[in-house]
Amino acid sequence: MIVGSIAGIGAGLAAIGAGIGIGNIGGKAMEGMARQPEAASKIQTAMLIAAAFVEAVALFAVVVAFLGTGQTN
């Protein structure tokens, strides 16, 4: 029997979204660094900030999923 809550699926879906987002950010940043290696440090800082914003969305979902699972018990 599979036991769990639907909140877990929600967290997983959010992880897909954040994965696409962070993948895009990382890929584009690498492209940028390859074109302009001298701007690498600036690109990296901007990349980390953008990744943090995207990641926050996934983490909101994780927190909501936790709250959701807590309710079912």
Partner 1 sequence: MDLSHIFNSKKIFRISFYAVLFSFLSFAAFSEEHAAADTSHAAATEVHAEPKEKDEDISKVILHHIADSHEWHFFGHVALPLPVILWTDNGLVTFMSDKFGHNDHGTELIDADGTGLVNYHGKFYYPAESKSADGTYISHDSKGEITNGKPLDISITKNVVSLLISVVILLVVFIGIANAYKKREGKAPKGMQSILEPIILFVRDDIAKPQLGHKYRGFMPYLLTVFFFVWLNNLMGLVPFFPGGANLTGNIAVTMMLALCTFVLTTVNGNKNYWGHVFTPHVPWWLYPLMIPVEIVGLFVKPVALMIRLFANITAGHILILSLISLIFILKSVFVAGIAIPFVLFISVIELVVGFIQAFIFTILSALFIGMAVEESHAEH
Q: Where do contacts with partner 1 occur on this chain (CB under 8 A)?
A: 37-38, 40-42, 44-45, 48-49, 52-53, 55-56, 59-60, 62-63, 73
Query: Nearer Cβ to partner 1, position 40 or 68?
Result: 40
- Give yes or no for a contact between 16 and 54, defined as CB atoms under 8 angstroms apart: no
Q: Which residues of 23-51 are buried (b: 16+ CB within 10 A; e: fewer)?
A: eebeeebeebbeeeeeeeeebeeebeebb
Nearest distance, CB of residue 41 and partner 1, angstroms: 4
Nearest distance, CB of residue 45 and partner 1, angstroms: 7
